Amino acid sequence: MTAFIEGLPKAELHVHLEGTLEPEHIFELASRNKIELEYKTPQDVIDAYDFHDLPSFLKIYYAAMGVLHTEQDFYELTYHYFERAAKDNVVYVEPFFDPQGHTSRGVDFDTIINGIHRAQEDARKNLGIESNLIMCFLRDMSAESAAEHLQMSLPFKDWIIGVGLDSDEKDNPPTKFQQVFADARQAGYKLTMHCDVNQKDILGHIRECIDIIKVDRIDHGINALEDEALCADIVKHDLGLTVCPVSNRFVVQSLTSNEIRTMLEKNMKVTINSDDPGYFRAYLTDNFIALTEEGHFSEQELTQLARNAFDAAWLDDADKAHYQQRINDYISG
Ligand code: ADE
Ligand code: ZN
């Protein structure tokens, strides 16, 4: 089964570029940018990863991204991720980036996006990985700050396919950003939002995403299973769900394999993703393998999960057909 998973052509729709920062790279960047770390070795950094809920993860995540300063830093961050993803047979990615995590430290928006974009171009040329970038707003910052970043992004509109919403969900509902997301839609962006696992008011957040924000996709969204009407609306609107099994395990002590199987049975477009693989120490293939160990998924179920990701991607029909054919060729080859 491991060999089958490794070879399967995959798409990844929920990976935070800043969440791909590897401990060795944290050290390299800190040294280059003359930043003192409180750790002596990359292993000390890993040993300090003690995540049990979203805030405990975010604290470490924002502190570590402080080593990213120059365009070259953002280039390397992104290109290293693509190199790692290529080993997992990932052929298409819609990665997130968090500009407010950097502009708040004095890094220019142009610096961030130029570095990321150059890496996307090189990954296309050198690794054969296509990608489309998603800009996330930090939901624990103000709607005004999100609106300012939407404006900053507009000169780079051709390099960004959509906007998302991440960071601390508690008391930061989708409707806080209703106007910004309406403006983003007007600008031509696709829309997605995190509805993280087991958050306060989570069912209300999922409902707002569907009815008010009218998202094109939902990130996580596992809790929708607690409400039949939500499940029915997710199917009716054909909304992809980007579930992250290893990431979930830090919060719910399970890879949510039962929930993922139930979603498949209900015809919900559930996909498998890595979220923050540098921190959770599991890239996409690792997520598929861990999930299969817990849930004993068949080749057919795993193939459906991989197909769902290409289907839920923000690609045109011809591109989707091309990727589905790659899966057909793999299965029949
Ligand atoms: N930012 C990076 N990873 C995140 C996650 N899993 N949930 C919310 N915000 C995030
Ligand atoms: Zn996420």
Q: Per-residue pLDDT tens for 211-249?
A: 999 999 999 999 999 999 999 999 999 999 999 999 999
Identify the band that residue 92 occupies on the pLDDT scale cut at 50, 70 and 90. Answer: very high
Identify the band that residue 81 occupies on the pLDDT scale cut at 50, 70 and 90. Answer: very high
Question: Tell me, what's the pLDDT at 105?
Answer: 97
Least confident of 25-29, 55-59, 156-160, 179-183: 55-59
Radius of gyration of the chain, Cα coordinates, nearest whole angstrom: 19
Residue type, 10: K
Q: Is the pLDDT of residue 52 over 90?
A: no
- 161-173 core/surface letters (b: 16 or more CB in 10 A; e: else): bbbbbbbbbeebb
Identify the band that residue 16 occupies on the pLDDT scale cut at 50, 70 and 90. Answer: very high
Rounded CA-CA distance 278/180 in Å is 30
C-alpha 241 to ligand 1 mean position (Å):
15
149 to 15, 103, 163, 319: CA distances (angstroms):
20, 9, 11, 30
Question: Tell me, what's the pLDDT at 102?
Answer: 98
C-alpha 276 to ligand 2 mean position (Å):
7
Using an 8 Å Cβ cutoff, are 44 and 304 in contact? no
Element (H, E) at 251: helix 245-252
Q: Is the pLDDT of residue 204 over 90?
A: yes
Please count the residues of the chain: 333
CATH class, domain 2-332, is alpha beta
Rounded CA-CA distance 310/304 in Å is 10
CB-ligand 1 contact for 275 (6 Å cutoff): yes
Using an 8 Å Cβ cutoff, are 184 and 191 in contact? yes
Identify the band that residue 136 occupies on the pLDDT scale cut at 50, 70 and 90. Answer: very high
Identify the band that residue 177 occupies on the pLDDT scale cut at 50, 70 and 90. Answer: very high
Percent of the chain past pLDDT 90, that is, above it, reads 97
Question: Tell me, what's the pLDDT at 221?
Answer: 98
Rounded CA-CA distance 309/329 in Å is 17
Percent of the chain past pLDDT 70, that is, above it, reads 100
Question: Tell me, what's the pLDDT at 111?
Answer: 98
C-alpha 327 to ligand 1 mean position (Å):
29
Q: State the chain's mean pLDDT as an integer.
A: 97
C-alpha 329 to ligand 2 mean position (Å):
31
Angle among Cα 123, 190, 57 to the nearest 5 degrees reads 70
Strands lying side by side in the sheet with 240-243? 96-97, 133-138, 160-166, 190-195, 217-220, 240-243, 269-272
Question: Tell me, what's the pLDDT at 84?
Answer: 98
Q: Is the pLDDT of residue 327 over 90?
A: yes
Taking residues 49-70, what's their average pLDDT? 94
Least confident of 45-59, 200-214, 220-234, 277-291: 45-59
Give the closest ligand to the alpha carbon of residue 54. Answer: 1
Using an 8 Å Cβ cutoff, are 58 and 98 in contact? no
Rounded CA-CA distance 132/167 in Å is 21
What residues flank ion ligand 2 with Cβ within 5 A?
A: 275
CB-ligand 1 contact for 167 (6 Å cutoff): yes
Least confident of 14-23, 52-61, 285-294: 52-61
| Stated pTM of the model | 0.98
Closest approach atom of ligand 1 to CA 244: 6
CB-ligand 1 contact for 196 (6 Å cutoff): yes
Q: Is the pLDDT of residue 50 over 90?
A: no
Identify the band that residue 176 occupies on the pLDDT scale cut at 50, 70 and 90. Answer: very high
CB-ligand 1 contact for 276 (6 Å cutoff): yes
> 103 phi and psi, to 5 degrees?
-60, -30
